[in-house]
Structure 1
């Protein structure tokens, strides 16, 4: 599971950030001052840190340098009320991967986190094995019992989404938003059609992709 640290001294803002990011399936930890943040950074490896600059005890610039010295691949998104060009440039020079000026849109934060993690996830997960399935993510190829399954691009995206979010129930609207995107103009019957195709093509999905009555769908594995 992707691990995210939020370093933010405004407790209400940090709790809202945590809520939005946990909804996306991330493992989120909060630090409300620089000392706590430094201790967490020293003793844990995070995939991404959302880092406020103006923090008690240890400021964000100090923490940014420490994060990058421990693991340069950890993605860091700076959040700051200071949006002047010199501040943004200074942040990038210290190794920040993104810079957001407060007040922050939570939807934009979720999107930026997702974009920053794409390269990280690709480095970590080259191949997925689940039951008798094997997925080659780099080449978007799927094998079941060593036989290649030919999927359309959206069938593949939907399949991969379920695999990465096992044992969670998603409504048709959720799936449209997360797989097809905000700019999709079709209707939810598109989801049903793609679910049917996945069950027809992949025996593992025929057995494990469950319909939750009046709610949606879930890839449910009894032993997990």
Structure 2
């Protein structure tokens, strides 16, 4: 899952980024309003960590931009401001949560998992499609109650498909979601075919009722 940190304090950004990457998240970064807006326009995220006080604008105004674009990316406001008015303003505009600085990293992780669970998993701790059952908390996949061993990228790909089954996913969308925003500079996305092929073989060998269908010239969908 991919997180965007919009934060102008390098030390805090580094601490949060290193922590979340250790928890198997892909982490992208913007240090101000303008670069944050550019990333939000260009990419999608599983969660956005948004500071209110940015060098060239207000995080509250950036939140308004997100909602005006009808983006569905969950937003957690991170700010040294801890007044009731700030919390109410952010939540009324559409933030999913609010965490005051300083905060414990364990609490931040819990908040991130909570908003992702609400937005992506309909509030459920596990998600299922056909006879595939995924436990995101422990990054486990079960097929017919037997664990399917996947590497990190295979798991990330399968999770991304299962939360939106039977929807055609473009190769560029898959690449950015699983490998990070920088992948849009790659000369070729052929590596996605190899990943899908390997994952498809593992699903078949485990008697999965789901399979990948290639949509010519676009991408793939889980059926």
Please tell me the TM-score bracket, short chain as reference.
0.5 to 0.7
Q: Which runs of 5+ in 2 are unaligned?
A: 136-140, 156-204, 207-223
How many aligned residue pairs are there? Answer: 150
Residue aligning to 1:41: 40
Quickly say closer, same or farther: Cα 1:118–1:164, change in 2 above 3 A.
Answer: farther
Larger relative contact order (C-alpha < 8 A, sep ≥ 6)?
2
Question: Given the two structures, how large is their TM-score scaled by the length of structure 2?
Answer: 0.58
Residue aligning to 1:119: 118
Contact 1:68 1:74 in 2 (8 A): no
Quickly say closer, same or farther: Cα 1:13–1:108, change in 2 above 3 A.
Answer: same
1:46-125 alignment, distance < 5 Å: 46-122=45-121
Query: Are 1:16 and 2:15 matched, yes or no?
Result: yes
Deviations 1:16-39 (A, max 9, x none): 111111111111111111111111
Quickly say closer, same or farther: Cα 1:142–1:40, change in 2 above 3 A.
Answer: closer
Shift of 1:8: 0.5
Shift of 1:122: 1.8
The 1-side partners of 2:22 and 2:70 are apart by: 26
Q: Moved runs in structure 1, 4+ residues, more than 4 A?
A: 125-129, 162-168
Q: Calculate the aligned-residue CA RMSD, in Å.
A: 3.1
Shift of 1:73: 2.5
Query: Are 1:135 and 2:132 matched, yes or no?
Result: yes
Residue aligning to 1:26: 25
The 1-side partners of 2:151 and 2:110 are apart by: 17
**Secondary structure of 1:25's match?**
coil
Shift of 1:86: 1.1
The 1-side partners of 2:154 and 2:44 are apart by: 26
The 2-side partners of 1:34 and 1:167 are apart by: 34
